[in-house]
Amino acid sequence: MPSLMSILNSIKNQFGMKPTSDDFYRECKIQKVEWWLSWCHEYPDLYWARLRKFSNGKADVLFQDENKVYGFESEESAGNFISQDEFSKFENINEEDRHDLNIPRNFSIKIPDWKNREVKNFEYIGKY
Half-sphere exposure of 125 (CA within 13 A, CB side): 21
16 within a domain of the structure (yes/no): no
Q: Report yes or no on 6 lying in a domain.
A: no
Question: How many domains does the structure of the chain reveal?
Answer: 1
pTM of the model: 0.85
Residue numbers of the domain that contains 82 = 29-126
Ordered strands of the 121-126 beta sheet: 87-89, 30-38, 48-54, 59-63, 68-72, 121-126
Give me the pLDDT at residue 17, please: 76
Sequence-ordered alpha helix ranges (H) in 75-127: 75-84, 95-100
pLDDT number for residue 115: 85
Residue spans of the chain under pLDDT 50:
none
Query: Long-range CB contacts (< 8 A, 24+ apart) of 55-61?
Result: 55/28, 55/29, 55/30, 55/31, 56/27, 56/28, 58/24, 58/28, 60/24
40-75 per-position pLDDT tens digit: 999 999 999 999 999 999 999 999 999 999 999 999
11 occurs within a structural domain = no
Residue 12 covered by a domain = no
Q: What is the pLDDT, as a whole number, of residue 27?
A: 86
